[in-house]
Amino acid sequence: MNPETDNINQNFTEEESSFDFQKWLHLFIKNWYLFLIFIPAFLIGGYLKNRSWMPIYQSVGTIIINENKYRSATQNFMQGFGLEDAYQSVNNQVIILNSYDLIGKVVDSLPFMKVDYLTIGRFKTRNLYKTTPIIIETDYVAPEAYELLYKISLHPDGTFTINPQNERNIPGSPINGRLGVPLQHNLFFMTVIGVNNYREFEMYFRFRTRESLIADFKSRLSSKYVIEGSSVLEISLSSETPERDVDFINKLSETYLEENLKKKNDVASKTIQFINEQLSEVSKSLSVSEDEMTRFRKDNQIIDISSHGGELMSKANSLDEKKAELKLKETYLNYLTKYLTGNFEEGTVVAPSNLGLNEPMLMQLVQQINDLYLQRSELTEKNLYYAKYTKAIENVKISIFELIKNMRASLEIEKNEVNRLLAELNAQIAELPKKELEMIGIERNYKVNDNYYTFFLQKRAEAEIQKASNTPDNNILDKARTLAVINEDEKSNNMLVFILLGFLIPTLIIVLKEVSNNTIRSIKDIEKKSAFPVIGMIRHAKNDLPNLTLKNPKSSFTEMFRVIRTRIEFVVRRKTDIVIMVTSVDAGDGKTFFSTNMAGVYGMTGNKTLLVDMDIRKPAINRRFNMHHPKGVTNYLINECTLDEIIHVIPEVNYDVIFAGTVPPNPAELIRSDKIIEMIGELRKRYDYILLDSSPIGLVTDSFSLAALADVNLLVVRNNKTNKEFFKNVVNQIVTDKLTNFYVVFTDVETDGNYYSYKYGYSSKYGYYTSKGQRNTDNYRKYYDDSNEI
């Protein structure tokens, strides 16, 4: 036993996988054509992407928020409900500007936006906002006609044709009409008006629903403060149609201020309404009392009353005014109770100060509830703070009702006191003469109504002045304008992305192909799975012939077999009397191709060489030589013929052949018979080199029996064919069975730039070179002739 080969019987540990830069570099070089395909393809894709690029403009307008206007006596109260932050304009005004209702009002006030006018090219779609040659005025649009694309062709004679651009069949299409003439169709009633000079023109239009426009603007609208903590609010929109965005932002700002002013005017309007109701009642009483006084003076010839009566009347008038004041308080409390009980939340509670009622606590609570109503009206029910505002309103209501209860009790005491004083005074007045007494009563009634009426006229005038002088709490700082294109870098970014994809996709293909491929494709793969030495490597051959080495004796292909022959002689330490078993991991690994050509190389030495087909389960050598001999190894093993009868001389090769013979029913038993040992022993006496082409060792056990009879066992592994794990399992089984003298032959290796062909190949490593390291062409041609493809 050769000590140099003992190490192959020891267990081995599989090497840990490590990154092999040179391997991956050669993989990428080998698959260069993928980059040549994908990079130009993605460059074209990037070019086409940029052809459809449209500039996106940012349009911006600013509003200055007067935060002091939003603060009132309610602030401390709302802190108890966690509403202070929501109450600040920093949050509320942004919410208001982005609210569905406000945007809806803006959309309703811009009817030109309800129809999109478009030109559609091969790569780009442009919105003809305010540059369209036509305007469509609609009287009716059917629900199913919205959001559909229509193509309109304008003709020189003032007519047009409309074609719906959808798959659904619409009756009556194409639709023909004339500019300026109403067009009636089951989908719409409309008039197409020409606004610009044109000849023939084709364009598209689309009816937009209110909901889609609101959703579009709401999704793109951005409201934020220019600087955190400042009171300047920036409103911006970005799109390919900056003119439309500028119009929308300006209209949004105007509508926002109008809504703010409208809410402020509601206070004055409610006050005026309340005063007018009171004036209506007082005017009737004043008219009656005035008529009564005039008639009494006329009937009784009374021009003036006595000085004593005048003094009593003056006192009575003072008490009447006090009583009227108490009546006004009672009327206001009744109004306030009715208002809060009825939950008239859309309106505004009339403040007591607007009626000249100086009740500080009541004024504060009414102001609080007005502020809460106003702030809550700006939120939707889904808003986080809506429920908190509702709770705060209910608590203020409870406080107001409690205060009204106390005020009514106080008011009752005051009324009783005034009535007592009036009763005493009326007793004194009753002592006056009858006619003077009647005159004083009538005049007192008239003066009460007259003062009451004058008071309400004054308060109405004040409320109307207040309403007329109201201004919005906020102001437009800058009207909307288009600032800049915000996607200038998109073109270069597109090209960069597509170039990266052009590199990334083939890289992924190569990596995935490499990672998912579980076959042996390199010497390193063999070394990681096995401790068996690699005795040689055979490059890929285009022709699958058994005599390639004989036909091409000077080729680098044949030289690789010579290297293996030399190494085998070195292993067994002799040049003759060598038995070599050739097996493989799996069928199709190329062991028979290797055996026939290896036998040819041995035959070149002039020594007697024999090739034995020991794959008695599935013979292949006879098919290689296109020969069918019924008798062979199996016939000899069952004593049907002699050894000489199964040895065949093949004219086109320089070695003898024993074919497998008839396929037996018990191949395993025949291979293990003593007759095999006897046959091998006899053949050793007759031949210098014997090659046993055995069954695949990974599939059947025949080779395990023959391995002990051979001097060298060659395990053929085929590049990009032999499975790594299958190979590993076979090696483990060989080691477990303590079989010796196993070596690996790596076949079908590509040599055109492959990483491992450079590392383990022989065309460069074993070529003939000058002293300076350059290949000597003459010597190379002399010894290696690869002119014919192998």
Question: pLDDT tens-digit profile of 306-325?
Answer: 454 556 656 666 766 777 77
CA separation for the pair 579, 356 (Å, rounded): 129
Indicate whether 442 pLDDT > 50: yes
CA angle 111, 116, 118 (to 5 degrees): 150
Out of 227, 257, 287, pick the residue that ends a domain.
257
| Band (171; pLDDT cuts 50, 70, 90) | low
Any domain includes 1: no
Mean pLDDT along residues 755-769? 40
Indicate whether 786 pLDDT > 70: no
Instruction: Report which of residues 503 and 487 the model is more confident about.
Output: 503
Instruction: Judge if 237 and 138 occupy the same domain.
Output: yes
Instruction: Judge if 48 and 86 occupy the same domain.
Output: no
| Band (343; pLDDT cuts 50, 70, 90) | low
Any domain includes 175: yes
Instruction: Judge if 427 and 496 occupy the same domain.
Output: no
Mean pLDDT along residues 193-203? 80
Amino acid identity of 328? L
Out of 257, 292, 323, pick the residue that ends a domain.
257
CA separation for the pair 694, 302 (Å, rounded): 154
Any domain includes 142: yes
Any domain includes 466: yes
Instruction: Judge if 26 and 69 occupy the same domain.
Output: no
Beta strands in 587-721 (DSSP E): 609-613, 647-649, 656-658, 689-693, 712-718
Residue 84, phi then psi, degrees to nearest 5: -60, -45
CA separation for the pair 81, 74 (Å, rounded): 11
Burial 708-721 (b: 16+ CB within 10 A, else e): ebbbbbbbbbbbeb
Please write the tens of the pLDDT for every residue from 676-705. Answer: 999 999 999 999 999 999 999 988 888 898
Out of 197, 223, 257, pick the residue that ends a domain.
257
Any domain includes 483: no
Mean pLDDT along residues 347-374? 72
Indicate whether 305 pLDDT > 80: no
Q: Which two tokens stand for residue 518?
A: 């579980």
Percent of the chain at pLDDT > 90 equals 30
Burial 205-232 (b: 16+ CB within 10 A, else e): bbbbeeeebbebbeeebebebeeeeebe
Q: Choose the most confident range, by mean pLDDT, from 10-14, 392-396, 460-464, 780-784.
A: 392-396
CATH number (domain holding residue 674) = 3.40.50.300
Half-sphere exposure of 194 (CA within 13 A, CB side): 20
Pinpoint the alpha helices (H) of 173-223.
210-220
| Band (91; pLDDT cuts 50, 70, 90) | low
Dihedral sign from CA coordinates of 665, 671, 675, 681: positive
Domain ranges, residue 245 = 57-257
Any domain includes 524: no
**List of residues 6+ apart from 137 with CB closer than 8 A:** 190, 191, 193
Any domain includes 13: no
| Band (655; pLDDT cuts 50, 70, 90) | very high
Cβ distance 710 to 579 under 8 Å? yes
Report how far apart, in Å, the C-alpha atoms of 26 and of each of 519, 699, 755, 763 are.
18, 34, 6, 18
Instruction: Judge if 176 and 301 occupy the same domain.
Output: no
How remote is the C-alpha of 244 from its chain's centroid? 28
CA angle 206, 211, 213 (to 5 degrees): 55
- Enumerate the β-bridge partners of residue 235: 61, 223
Indicate whether 118 pLDDT > 80: yes
CA separation for the pair 746, 754 (Å, rounded): 14
DSSP 51-103: HT----EEEEEEEE--GGGG--THHHHHHTTT-HHHHSHHHHHHHHHT-HHHH
Instruction: Judge if 101 and 222 occupy the same domain.
Output: yes
Neighbour count for residue 85 (Cβ, 10 Å): 12
Instruction: Judge if 149 and 200 occupy the same domain.
Output: yes
pLDDT of residue 362: 80
Indicate whether 539 pLDDT > 50: yes
Look over the chain and give the mean of its residue pLDDT values, rounded to a whole number: 79
Instruction: Judge if 76 and 141 occupy the same domain.
Output: yes
| Band (769; pLDDT cuts 50, 70, 90) | very low
pLDDT of residue 27: 84
Instruction: Judge if 124 and 244 occupy the same domain.
Output: yes
CA separation for the pair 322, 325 (Å, rounded): 5
CA separation for the pair 241, 55 (Å, rounded): 9
| Band (291; pLDDT cuts 50, 70, 90) | low
Q: Which two tokens stand for residue 564?
A: 């293996």
Does the model's pTM come out above 0.85?
no
Instruction: Judge if 343 and 411 occupy the same domain.
Output: yes
pLDDT of residue 476: 81
CA separation for the pair 448, 280 (Å, rounded): 15
Q: Residue 105 burial by CB count (10 A; 0-12/13-18/19+): exposed, middle or buried? A: middle
Cβ distance 481 to 61 under 8 Å? yes
Number of domains in the chain: 4
Indicate whether 192 pLDDT > 50: yes
Amino acid identity of 686? R
pLDDT of residue 35: 93
Percent of the chain at pLDDT > 70 equals 77
Give 757-760 contacts, CB < 8 A, sequence gap 24+: 757/539, 758/26, 759/523, 760/523, 760/534, 760/537
Q: Which of 157-161, 381-385, 768-772 has the lowest mean pLDDT?
A: 768-772
**Residues making up the chain, counted from first to last:** 790
| Band (289; pLDDT cuts 50, 70, 90) | low
Instruction: Judge if 365 and 473 occupy the same domain.
Output: yes
Mean pLDDT along residues 508-528? 87
What is the DSSP secondary structure assignment for residue 353, as one 8-state letter?
G
pLDDT of residue 525: 86
pLDDT of residue 443: 67
Please write the tens of the pLDDT for every residue from 446-477. Answer: 666 677 677 777 777 777 776 777 767 777 88
pLDDT of residue 205: 94
Any domain includes 227: yes
**List of residues 6+ apart from 729 with CB closer than 8 A:** 698
Q: Which two tokens stand for residue 677?
A: 């040992």
Instruction: Report which of residues 383 and 681 the model is more confident about.
Output: 681
pLDDT of residue 772: 39
CA separation for the pair 232, 290 (Å, rounded): 59
Mean pLDDT along residues 611-636? 88
Instruction: Judge if 620 and 714 occupy the same domain.
Output: yes
pLDDT of residue 36: 93
Mean pLDDT along residues 347-352? 65
